[in-house]
């Protein structure tokens, strides 16, 4: 059994919160640069220029890339040989969020009650934490702050099995087109297929963490990803919805087995500011 | 052809009449911030016939909930928020003389019609470009509804704040026309 102290987790989470909000992953920056070259609309090119300037300023001045520093979402892989000591695991993560959002001057965007009171918790807690127990003695923590604007443009639908893959494709393309400029395109479109009503949304979110350009290991779904990217980029929505050739940077599909009577589909849209950062203890 | 126009607030009818969709605007002067909750309070005051905490004539409203200001800076990152949430509360402000709003995403037809009627424009700022936009904000102070935190009304002094004309006073909408221009139908 390997022992890991709770305060070590807090320290790492604190740093992840700040770093993810100041520095975009290299694959995202490279893809945005390539997308600018593909863009034909002058307004679209201007938007890309501003996005690229913003990335440089955030990095040099340690200012958040986007003022919406997001809901603190964590995907944890917890090795079953790990014993957390000196504190509660969930509290350790929330303490890290509390400290990271304060010290990084990140915006606190979470309200305690979703409908009636909506009082800001003032420290961006609680986090949303998904934990998988895996073999081994390590802990992998992936932090992905999720902005409210693109999250609002996300959906779950229980399609019928008879709708088939063509039904899925049409649903996704129509949905992304109707979302238009609201989710801050060019976007990464995370798609979950299968599982249950709740599982499908979780895998759609997890799909956003995959490196841009990576493909689903199943060649059939890999082809669907490529086709959807092409169709979404024909909608004309373009950067920030102002018209252009680049509406999405990539489409990622994750699947899970499902019940004979169901065919759940979830779409989780990620804005161009695709922030995520991981650490392994 | 789209052009780049430098404008200083407060804006006049003549200023906005020069703008067409697709033009880039570099805005300087005083602008105000406000989101859903602040808009609701302003509209409640208008409906009750009471005085507003800000004068709206010729002014610009920026939809933003900025990040906290780090030491030595007037404001934290300050990119636009989604505008459609304010659609049901915008026409009342346009009737009172608001000349421009800045946000991201398309506006409802009620707002587009009201902008044409009241000679006002909607400017799109780049969502996510929050550090870049913060650089154009030289001063910031909360002037109303401090209890709303990030959503309070702030008075900002800006210099060359970058935005794109998405709706002009002539009823044109870049969100519709731009998309139609680049759509490829099979």
Mean pLDDT of chain B: 95
Residue A63: how many other CB atoms lie within 10 Å: 26
Q: Do A50 and B181 touch (CB under 8 A)?
A: no
Task: Name the percent of chain A lying above pLDDT 70.
Answer: 100
Task: Name the percent of chain B lying above pLDDT 90.
Answer: 91
pLDDT above 80 for A88: yes
Cα A64 to Cα B77: distance, rounded to the nearest angstrom: 6
Task: Name the percent of chain A lying above pLDDT 90.
Answer: 99
Cα B155 to Cα B36: distance, rounded to the nearest angstrom: 17
pLDDT in tens, B85-141: 999 999 999 999 999 999 999 999 999 999 999 999 999 999 999 999 999 999 999
Residue B148: pLDDT band with limits 50, 70, 90: confident
pLDDT in tens, A89-140: 999 999 999 999 999 999 999 999 999 999 999 999 999 999 999 999 999 9
Cα A166 to Cα B12: distance, rounded to the nearest angstrom: 52
pLDDT above 90 for B186: no
Q: What is the pLDDT of residue B185?
A: 86
> Which residues numbered 81-120 in B keep a CB inside 8 Å of some CB on A?
81-82, 84, 104-106
Query: Is the reported ipTM for this assembly greater than 0.85?
Result: yes
Count contacts between A and B (CB, < 8 Å): 163
Peptide bond into B31 cis (omega under 30): no
Q: Do A180 and B175 touch (CB under 8 A)?
A: yes
B64 and B78 in contact (C-beta within 8 Å)? yes
Question: In Å, what is the CA distance from A53 to each residue of A234, A255, B12, B154?
Answer: 27, 36, 31, 25
Token representation of residue A63: 């200012």
Q: Edge to edge, what strands does the sheet with A277-280 contain?
A: A128-134, A71-79, A139-146, A277-280
Q: What is the pLDDT of residue B32?
A: 96
Cα A232 to Cα A180: distance, rounded to the nearest angstrom: 11
Residue B114: how many other CB atoms lie within 10 Å: 20
pLDDT in tens, B25-68: 999 999 999 998 899 999 999 999 999 999 999 999 999 999 99
The three-class DSSP label of residue A260 is coil
Q: What is the pLDDT of residue A226?
A: 98
Q: Do B81 and A149 touch (CB under 8 A)?
A: yes
Q: What is the pLDDT of residue B1?
A: 79
Residue A155: closest CA among A271, A75, A264, A240: A264
For residues B127, A57, A236, A28, the Cα torsion angle rounded to the nearest 10 degrees is -110
Residue B150: pLDDT band with limits 50, 70, 90: confident
pLDDT above 90 for A146: yes
Residue in chain B lying closest to A47 (CA): B126
Q: What is the pLDDT of residue A262?
A: 97
The three-class DSSP label of residue A263 is strand
Is B22 among the residues known to form the active site?
Answer: no
Cα B100 to Cα B16: distance, rounded to the nearest angstrom: 9
pLDDT in tens, A32-67: 999 999 999 999 999 999 999 999 999 999 999 999
Asked if B68 reaches chain A (Cβ–Cβ under 8 Å), the answer is: yes
Q: What is the pLDDT of residue B155?
A: 96
Cα B98 to Cα B50: distance, rounded to the nearest angstrom: 17
Mean pLDDT of chain A: 97
pLDDT above 80 for A209: yes
Q: What is the pLDDT of residue A57?
A: 97
Q: How many residues does chain B have?
A: 186
């Amino acid at each position: 059994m390997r022992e890991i102290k709770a305060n070590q987790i807090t320290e790492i989470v604190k740093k992840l919160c700040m770093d993810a909000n100041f520095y975009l992953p290299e694959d995202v920056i490279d893809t945005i640069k390539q997308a600018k070259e593909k863009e034909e609309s002058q307004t679209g090119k201007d938007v890309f220029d501003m996005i690229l300037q913003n990335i440089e300023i955030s990095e040099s001045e340690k200012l958040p890339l986007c003022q919406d520093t997001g809901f603190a979402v964590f995907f944890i892989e917890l090795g079953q040989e790990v014993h957390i000591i000196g504190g509660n695991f969930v509290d350790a993560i929330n303490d890290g969020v509390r400290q990271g959002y304060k010290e990084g001057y990140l915006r606190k965007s979470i309200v305690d009650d979703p409908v009636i009171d909506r009082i800001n918790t003032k420290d961006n807690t609680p986090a949303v934490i998904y934990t998988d127990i895996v073999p081994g003695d390590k802990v992998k923590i992936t932090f992905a702050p999720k902005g409210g604007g693109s999250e609002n443009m996300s959906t779950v639908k229980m399609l019928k099995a008879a709708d088939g893959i063509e039904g899925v494709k049409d649903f996704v393309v129509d949905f992304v087109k109707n979302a238009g400029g609201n989710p801050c395109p060019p976007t990464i479109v995370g798609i979950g297929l299968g599982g249950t009503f709740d599982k499908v949304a979780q895998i759609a979110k997890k799909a956003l963490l995959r490196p841009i350009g990576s493909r689903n290991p199943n060649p059939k779904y890999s082809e669907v990803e490529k086709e959807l990217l092409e169709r979404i980029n024909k909608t004309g929505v373009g950067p920030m919805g102002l018209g252009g050739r680049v509406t999405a940077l990539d489409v990622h599909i994750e699947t899970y087995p499902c019940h004979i009577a169901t065919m759940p589909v979830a779409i989780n849209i990620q804005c161009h500011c695709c922030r995520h950062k991981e650490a392994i203890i | 052809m789209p052009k780049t126009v430098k404008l200083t607030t407060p804006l006049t009818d003549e200023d906005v009449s020069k703008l067409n969709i697709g033009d880039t605007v570099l805005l300087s002067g005083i602008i105000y911030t406000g989101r859903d909750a602040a808009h609701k309070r302003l509209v409640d005051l208008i409906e009750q016939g009471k005085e507003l905490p800000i004068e709206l004539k010729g002014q610009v409203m920026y939809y933003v909930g900025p990040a906290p200001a780090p030491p030595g800076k007037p404001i934290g990152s300050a990119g636009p928020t989604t505008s459609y949430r304010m659609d049901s509360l915008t026409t009342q402000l346009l009737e009172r003389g608001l000349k421009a709003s800045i946000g991201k995403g398309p506006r409802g037809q009620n707002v587009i019609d009201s902008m044409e009627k009241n000679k006002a424009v909607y400017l799109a700022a780049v969502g996510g470009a929050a550090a870049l936009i913060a650089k154009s904000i030289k001063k910031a102070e909360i002037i109303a509804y401090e209890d709303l935190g990030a959503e309070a009304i702030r008075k900002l002094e800006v210099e060359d704040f970058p935005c794109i004309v998405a709706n002009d006073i002539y009823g044109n909408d870049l969100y519709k026309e731009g998309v139609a221009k680049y759509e490829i139908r099979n």
